[in-house]
Amino acid sequence: MEESPIISPLNDAQLEAVTAPSGPVLVLAGAGSGKTRALVHRIAWLIQENGSHPWSIIAMTFTNKSAREMRTRIEKLLNTPTQGLWIGTFHALGLRMLRQDWQAAGLSERFEVIDNADQLRQIRKSMEELKLDEKAIPPKQILWRINACKDNGHRAHNLPEELSKDEVFSLIYRDYEKRCQQLGLVDFGELLLRPCELLKNNQIVREYYQNKFDHVLIDEFQDTNHIQFQCAQLLSTRHQSIFAVGDDDQSIYGWRGAKVENMLGFNRIFPSASIFRLEQNYRSSGCILQAANAVISRNSGRLGKKLWTDQADGEPIQIYRAYNETDEAGFAVSAIDASIASGKAHNEHAVLYRSNAQSRVFEEQLIARGIPYSVYGGMRFFERAEIKNAVAYLKLAVNRDSDPSFDRVVNMPPRSIGNQTMESVRFIAARHGVSLWEASRLAIDDAKTRPRSRESLKRFRAIIERIDALSKELPLDALVEKVIHESGLIDHYARERGETAISRTENLKELITAAGSYILELSRESPEQRKNQLNLFLNHTALEPGPRGTEEEFDRVQLMSLHSAKGLEFKTVFLCGMEDGLFPHQLSISDGNLEEERRLCYVGITRAMQKLYLCYSRSRNVFGKQMRCTPSRFLAELPEELLSGTRQPVIEQKQWQKESVQPDSNLTDHSGKNLELGCTVRHAKFGEGTLMQAEGTGAYARVQVNFPEAGKKWLVLNYARLRRV
């Protein structure tokens, strides 16, 4: 047992946590302290030393990537495939439960998962039906609020008082819920909320899972929201074996309902909990760790950990002050180029930024130098219009009643089924209470339908029937190939001119490849029936980011947001766009969410193993306008002795602090209109109002104006075109 690969690589603290007797365990694991290792070894230990069966274990993660990594590492450790082990993202596990118990969950058997764009489309429809003006109430804001409700477990009929007071919102939420229920649509929030309700309200299902799972494990526990923790609790009430690993300093998902309080409250819920701390950092050089500690120490209300390392200080942190974002990207890419020339692998380098829109300039520079890279986040492969179109054909083949899919591709590529035709189809559907598919059949039989529409609809229906027939005899990738041809999609995009058309046809071809590699992935886990292959692939398109790169594509420079970088590590990290208003983001500054932004900064710094660059730009192009920027206040929180600068006299540091801390009461600087607090301004839509507050600088400068009619509004100076009266 001493030589066991499961326990011998562990330090004392890790060993204690991993081999803790079955029961509630909370592991406070600092950045780079072996958090994933603890989880992976715990599962391996449960199986090999504790005699637990893989199928009695459920492990929940936040990202597909970490789920995959954990599974791989466990299999490597145990040297055997882990069949039956439930390991996946909360969303994927939720979906699995809903597919299994769709009836008990009150869903239709063929329910489909919708992404943000589809969700927004449904919200728009709800608002249209309620005759609400999209300009007065932005649908995006409604989406945001509905998601927030679901994160907190609130249904439309059961809103807390302060929310139910907003009757308009309440109405939209209610209509949206009804719409999704009728159409069999499940959004991301629903993938968490509905399983939670299912466990809470259905005794049979609850007991089934409580008996099934002896052990519940949670990764990134600090990022669980109310209902995620509730799910985990419900699953573990019988065996009380819950193993949660997290770091309060890395809680960066408060905006989507995460409750750090779940960590603090763990003892209260599980009074017999053992708590372990992992405080030795194995990842970063001394300098980098000191910088991280210095930044995070400014936060209040921490659980308190002292991260330490026995590594040498290493290289100082390099600051770069760029003239503009092109200069910033140029600096980073040159440094990467040089580093690669000295023999480093591409994927040892990461460029991290606060918002995905920043990736573009870096991409341009990398392309210009012919350096391979991959970008994470942003538009996902399966979210692209052409891919969603192809998938919609598959969905219709599986489920003729999928109205959103029908809507999407009935006239894509254009086949003369325009508004006129669709209006009458919709009318028939509404009158008979049937799906659009069924209504299209009725429309064909209807004498009033024009011959041309009739022919077009027939043609479309024949395509779907044909795909369905093919789906029963062809393997998935061959089926996808048929779909993009028989639907006419690939010809349609090939006929279009321009770069987008080319990339669209390429994406469609890549969908065939993606289907092919998905078959391989499936066959490794469990050889399934062909019929189910398609259904599983459709689940896959709903939750997975896209086709995974091949071996050759693996070694690339990594570009991603700070949020997606969590849990990863790189030899060299470029933390870019370190400017007030961008990072910390202006919206967080206004909401007073600086501590979460600071944790994000902490996450960014602690991704670096050997070399960290912090870059900021004096000016930046925002919405096509060049804007002056102020260095991030977080830069001023770093001890001088850890830094070295190019074009950066360290003395300037103190000034950053001043600049960023001073409130902007005089806005003359960026508006050129001599605005000040308390003055009266005129707005094109809202009329005259009083300037109440001002925040931010440059492109991000906003003011709050109190209008007699419209009430208090936050307006971005750059766009609001306010005039002083």
Which residues form the catalytic set?
Answer: 35-36, 219-220, 250, 607
Stretch that binds DNA, among 185-193, 282-290, 295-303, 400-408 (CB under 7 A): 185-193
Stretch that binds DNA, among 171-179, 203-211, 407-415, 546-554 (CB under 7 A): 407-415
φ and ψ of 25, to 5 deg: -135, 135
Q: Is the Cβ–Cβ distance between 723 and 704 less than 8 Å?
A: no
Stretch that binds DNA, among 27-35, 99-107, 250-258, 306-314 (CB under 7 A): 250-258
φ and ψ of 340, to 5 deg: -65, -40
Binding of DNA by 343 (CB under 7 A) = no
Q: What does the alpha-carbon distance between residue 612 and residue 606 come to, in Å, rounded to a whole number?
A: 9
Q: Residue 184: left (phi > 0), alpha (psi -120 to 50), or beta?
A: left
The residue type at 706? N
CA nearest to 147, candidates 246, 206, 227:
227
Q: What does the alpha-carbon distance between residue 88 and residue 191 come to, in Å, rounded to a whole number?
A: 13
Please pick, from the candidates 474, 519, 587, 679, the single residue that binds DNA as defined by CB under 7 A.
Answer: 587
Binding of DNA by 138 (CB under 7 A) = yes
Binding of DNA by 131 (CB under 7 A) = no
Binding of DNA by 340 (CB under 7 A) = no
Radius of gyration of the chain from Cα atoms? 27
Binding of DNA by 299 (CB under 7 A) = no
Binding of DNA by 4 (CB under 7 A) = no
Site string for DNA, 83-102 (x = CB under 7 A): ------x-xx----------
Site string for DNA, 547-566 (x = CB under 7 A): -------------xx-xx--
Please pick, from the candidates 420, 517, 646, 680, the single residue that binds DNA as defined by CB under 7 A.
Answer: 420
Q: What's the distance, CA 38 to chain centroid?
A: 25
Binding of DNA by 297 (CB under 7 A) = no
C-alpha triplet 654, 315, 605: angle, nearest 5°: 65
Binding of DNA by 626 (CB under 7 A) = no
| Adjacent-strand bridge partners of 694 | 703
Q: What does the alpha-carbon distance between residue 516 and residue 513 come to, in Å, rounded to a whole number?
A: 5
Q: What does the alpha-carbon distance between residue 48 and residue 46 come to, in Å, rounded to a whole number?
A: 6
Binding of DNA by 624 (CB under 7 A) = yes
Q: Is the Cβ–Cβ distance between 315 and 611 less than 8 Å?
A: yes
Binding of DNA by 188 (CB under 7 A) = yes
**Residues in 359-378 at the binding interface with DNA, rule: CB under 7 A:** 376-377
Binding of DNA by 15 (CB under 7 A) = no
Stretch that binds DNA, among 242-250, 301-309, 310-318, 590-598 (CB under 7 A): 590-598
Binding of DNA by 602 (CB under 7 A) = no
Please pick, from the candidates 588, 606, 632, 648, the single residue that binds DNA as defined by CB under 7 A.
Answer: 588
Residue 452's CB: how many other CB atoms inside 10 A?
11
Q: What does the alpha-carbon distance between residue 684 and residue 314 come to, in Å, rounded to a whole number?
A: 57
| Adjacent-strand bridge partners of 572 | 349, 611
Q: What does the alpha-carbon distance between residue 361 and residue 347 come to, in Å, rounded to a whole number?
A: 19
C-alpha distance from residue 77 to each of 45, 59, 98, 225, 674 (Å): 10, 16, 31, 31, 67
Binding of DNA by 408 (CB under 7 A) = no
**Residues in 694-723 at the binding interface with DNA, rule: CB under 7 A:** 719
Please pick, from the candidates 591, 640, 669, 676, the single residue that binds DNA as defined by CB under 7 A.
Answer: 591
Q: How far is the CB of 251 from DNA (least distance, A)?
A: 12
174 versus 256: smaller Cβ distance to DNA: 256
Q: Is the Cβ–Cβ distance between 217 and 26 less than 8 Å?
A: no
Binding of DNA by 449 (CB under 7 A) = no
Binding of DNA by 224 (CB under 7 A) = no
Stretch that binds DNA, among 248-256, 305-313, 666-674, 702-710 (CB under 7 A): 248-256
519 versus 587: smaller Cβ distance to DNA: 587
Please pick, from the candidates 42, 388, 415, 599, the single residue that binds DNA as defined by CB under 7 A.
Answer: 415
305 versus 415: smaller Cβ distance to DNA: 415
Q: What's the distance, CA 33 to chain centroid?
A: 24
Binding of DNA by 406 (CB under 7 A) = no
φ and ψ of 627, to 5 deg: -125, 145
Stretch that binds DNA, among 249-257, 460-468, 469-477, 687-695 (CB under 7 A): 249-257
β-pairing, 702-707 vs 687-695, is antiparallel
Site string for DNA, 480-509 (x = CB under 7 A): ------------------------------
Q: What burial class does residue 84 get, using C-beta atoms within 10 Å of its C-beta: 0-12 exposed, 13-18 middle, 19+ buried?
A: exposed
Q: How far is the CB of 337 from DNA (least distance, A)?
A: 24
562 versus 694: smaller Cβ distance to DNA: 562
β-pairing, 680-683 vs 687-695, is antiparallel
46 versus 332: smaller Cβ distance to DNA: 332
Binding of DNA by 56 (CB under 7 A) = no
Q: How far is the CB of 564 from DNA (least distance, A)?
A: 4
295 versus 335: smaller Cβ distance to DNA: 295
Q: Residue 586: left (phi > 0), alpha (psi -120 to 50), or beta?
A: alpha
Stretch that binds DNA, among 12-20, 26-34, 312-320, 354-362 (CB under 7 A): 354-362
Q: How far is the CB of 188 from DNA (least distance, A)?
A: 3
177 versus 214: smaller Cβ distance to DNA: 177
Q: How far is the CB of 207 from DNA (least distance, A)?
A: 27
Q: What does the alpha-carbon distance between residue 534 and residue 329 come to, in Å, rounded to a whole number?
A: 42
φ and ψ of 240, to 5 deg: 55, 20
Stretch that binds DNA, among 133-141, 280-288, 470-478, 517-525 (CB under 7 A): 133-141
Q: How far is the CB of 141 from DNA (least distance, A)?
A: 9
Q: How far is the CB of 279 from DNA (least distance, A)?
A: 27
Q: How far is the CB of 647 from DNA (least distance, A)?
A: 26
Q: Residue 10: left (phi > 0), alpha (psi -120 to 50), or beta?
A: beta
φ and ψ of 485, to 5 deg: -85, -50
Place of tokens 């929180």: 637
Q: Which residues of 657-680 are buried (b: 16+ CB within 10 A; e: fewer)?
A: eebbeeebeebeebbeeebebebe
Site string for DNA, 260-289 (x = CB under 7 A): ------------------------------
94: Cβ contacts below 8 Å, ≥ 6 apart: 191, 192, 194, 195, 231
Count, residues in the chain = 725
Site string for DNA, 456-485 (x = CB under 7 A): ------------------------------
42 versus 91: smaller Cβ distance to DNA: 91
Binding site for DNA (CB under 7 A): 62-65, 89, 91-92, 116, 135, 138, 140, 147, 188-189, 192, 252, 255-256, 354-357, 376-377, 411, 414-421, 453, 543, 545, 560-561, 563-564, 585, 587-588, 591, 593, 596-597, 621-624, 719
